Amino acid sequence: MSAYPPKLAQRFLVRLVPSGIVGESIVGDAHEEYLEQIARVGSMRARLWYWSHVLNIALKYRNRRTTESAGHGGSGTALAGLAQDFRFTWRSLGRSAAFTSVVVGTLGIGIGATTAIFSVVNGVLLKPLPFPESDRLVTVWLQLPGIGLGQMGQARATYFTFRDEQRVLEDIGLWRTNSVTITGLSEPEVVPILQVTDGTLPLLGTQPVLGRRFTASDDTPGTPLTVMLSHGFWQRHYGGDAGAIGQMLALEDTQAEIIGVLPPEFQLMWADPAFVLPLRLDRSRASVGAFNYPVSGWVKWARRAPRTSRFGTSNASSKI
């Protein structure tokens, strides 16, 4: 038979009661009563009594501490109140499994829906484009209200017209997604690509991690074809070797010289290409009649000049 109360319970009691002689006398009272309980009902029941006694004291002094901190005001009040609210909520939910399931389910659906909506809104509206000074980038669409057509893509003719005549944009670029078959590898592989005019990457502010960007010469029909690899393609097929620059890449019935490697984060809207080729538009084939196919899928990007508003850009484009 132990003359000492359960150690854990006693340690718990010491932590709960006020410090100093007040707490000491309460712990001493408990010890004294514990010995009386042993003599009266035996050790086992005395230990149970001691635990219930500690819980009783814990309940009273926990409430007292909460009340005291509430009386002092300030952050202690708010925290004590918050903790009490949490405890009450937790106990209430614990009483009803069905209600708790409904609450948790409702919260889960609500949080999930909010997160999904925010992801879309953030990606489409709030998050800036991953390009420097992206607020100056504009998309140039065409409208033909006279024949009831709105938001059309560009044609060769409009691209050359805008590039030659406009004065409010720093530069203008045209791009489209496509796919091509690589034939120089062990097995032919169809990969997504991006085709851009020579002004597109500079106006986006994209700098190659290796080599150089396209020049007007690269974008001229009839000149040797050049290609810029995506970072992933360069890593997968060339092991990140800087010696890839200058090598030839076999594309269907032609060869393209590798002139540069794009940064790993490069992505243009939805396009995540294996590599980028120059668009090489033929000025001699540009005509107003070629408005729709095959140029309807082309999207034109431009960068507004500093201190030029979107409204001013639109007005100037309309005049052209």
Partner 1 sequence: MMSQHLGEFEQVLLLAILQAGDRAHALATIKELDEHAGRRVDRGTVYKTLDRLEAKGLVEWTIEDATPERGGHRRRLFTVTPQGIGALQTSRRTLFSLWEGLEPTLGGAP
Binding residues for partner 1 restricted to 157-196, rule: CB under 8 A: none
Q: How far is the CB of 18 from partner 1 (least distance, A)?
A: 8
Q: Judged by CB, which is closer to partner 1: 27, or 225?
A: 27
Binding mask 39-58 for partner 1 (x = CB under 8 A): --------------x--xx-
35 binds partner 1 (CB under 8 A): yes
134 binds partner 1 (CB under 8 A): no
Interface region with partner 1, contact rule CB under 8 A, candidates 24-32, 155-163, 202-210, 236-244? 24-32
Q: How far is the CB of 25 from partner 1 (least distance, A)?
A: 4
Applying CB under 8 A, which of residues 15, 32, 118, 292 lies at the interface with partner 1?
Answer: 32
59 binds partner 1 (CB under 8 A): yes
Applying CB under 8 A, which of residues 1, 7, 19, 21 lies at the interface with partner 1?
Answer: 21
| Rounded-to-integer distance, Cα 252 and Cα 111, Å | 49
Applying CB under 8 A, which of residues 45, 64, 65, 72 lies at the interface with partner 1?
Answer: 64
Q: Is there a cis peptide before residue 130, judged by omega within 30 degrees of 0?
A: no
Q: How far is the CB of 41 from partner 1 (least distance, A)?
A: 16
Q: Judged by CB, which is closer to partner 1: 45, or 60?
A: 60
101, two tokens: 């399931």
Q: Judged by CB, which is closer to partner 1: 25, or 115?
A: 25
Under the rule (CB under 8 A), what is the footprint of partner 1?
4-5, 21-22, 24-33, 35, 53, 56-57, 59-61, 64
